[in-house]
Amino acid sequence: MPTTTVTPECTREQQTIADAVARSKKIIIVTGAGISTNAGIPDFRSQNGLYNLVKKKYPTNVVKGRDLFDSVLFKDSTSTEIFYTFMASLRDEVLKVKDSTPTHKFIRTLADSGRLLRCYTQNIDGLEERDGLITDLSCGRGKRKRPSPAGAMEDTRTREEKGCQVVQLHGELQHLRCTQCQTLTGYDQEAINSLIDGVPPLCQACETQSTVRSAAGMRATAIGRLRPNVVLYGEEHPNANEVGRLNEADIRAVPDMMIVLGTSLKVHGLKRMVREFAKAVHAKGGIVVFVNNTPPAESTWNSVIDYHVTMDCDAWVAEVKHRRPGIWERQTKLAVPRESTNINYRIDEDGCPEGFKAKGLQGFRGQKFQKFQRKRHKIQGSEDSEDSGFESQSSAEESPGPQEAQVAGTNRRKQVSCETDEGDCGNLAFSYPS
């Protein structure tokens, strides 16, 4: 089907997309530089963009913007110097950012509510980490969290259980990588000053190894240079195997929606990945949404993208939040299904002796709960349960054991486990009609 263009005035299509976000359980997110401009990071091509800022320092050297992200720049000493200056300037702009954008927080919300399958980003600013999303590829695919229809809940899983939530396709600016030994290191002031001047600093790990070998009478090894841990066009990702495994796993998981945000879809590798994900989404009956002020670069996307939303990314997120606010609501209590029996709750204020904790329906005050209270008091017999818990008046034994009470009209039986601070006091089984 051809791509449907959606403007802010297209209320029906806007609602359809918002409903799809709320309904989906395995969403793939693909992001580009357009989601970070509202955070204060200048884009590359505007009048005050980073390209022009670098060209002011090198007025006699005309370098195209794309050339600053292409591996061919290392063939020329001048373009290499411009590259290091440019990256140092970009990192400085990222450090000035005080907070991420609503779009970044939207991705975190999808993760908290169990709707996010994975996010793939072209950005190297690392703003996703500021919202607590995991970008470490060594964490693997993780374990799927059950989607929460009632809103986002605090995610108590470990890093390994969450897995790598955001795949940085072009690396990141937070570390420097040695061109010789591939060691990752942080920035110090000496390295920063060197990069600003367009000179890559020497790798201390390589220097140490070379010194040790020389002291042992062995041949000294080469000493590498440190460069920002970014992946340029024409380079292979240093963790290409891990990225490939995550990509294959996500396709096998059969995502039910894909949202592409703030990118023009011009990079060949990204275009291929988006097409593969779109095929999986459509096989599941889901939709592909492209959010960007300008249309994608090629007309061939008509059979891939279902909706092109011509809006700013943050404005579109606000529109979705307006139409489906439940996606953002923080769930402070566990939802209570009609037939649920495995939810922890306190009923001390409803008649259970002080110090007891019962497992049953959270805060339930209806007719069924009142029937259970009356039945429990009938078989309890004694309020003094410090040692043995609930005891029957007619029981001659001190052992608590399980006791059962059944209400006529049903065979369904609900289990409530009671504990005192000192230990277990047994199980109370009861039944009630629906």
The residues carrying an active-site annotation are 170
Neighbours of 367 (CB within 10 A): 10
8 Å CB contact between 105 and 85: no
Task: Find all residues with CB under 8 Å of 162, minimum gap 6, and list them.
Answer: 111, 134, 139, 142, 143, 145, 155
Q: How far apart are CA 15 and CA 5, in angstroms?
A: 14
Q: Known binder of ligand: residue 313?
A: no
What element of type H or E holds 270? Answer: helix 268-283
8 Å CB contact between 374 and 390: no
Neighbours of 243 (CB within 10 A): 19
Q: How far apart are CA 348 and CA 360, in angstroms?
A: 13
Nearest CA to 68 among 83, 84, 58? 83
Backbone angles phi, psi at 394, to 5 degrees: -90, 0
Q: Known binder of ligand: residue 178?
A: yes
Cα torsion 195, 94, 292, 29 to 10°: value is 100
User: Residue 424 pairs with which residues in a beta bridge?
Assistant: 419
What secondary structure does DSSP assign to 171-192, as a single string? EEEEEEEETTT--EE---HHHH
Q: Known binder of ligand: residue 425?
A: no
**Which residues fall in the annotated binding site?**
178, 181, 203, 206
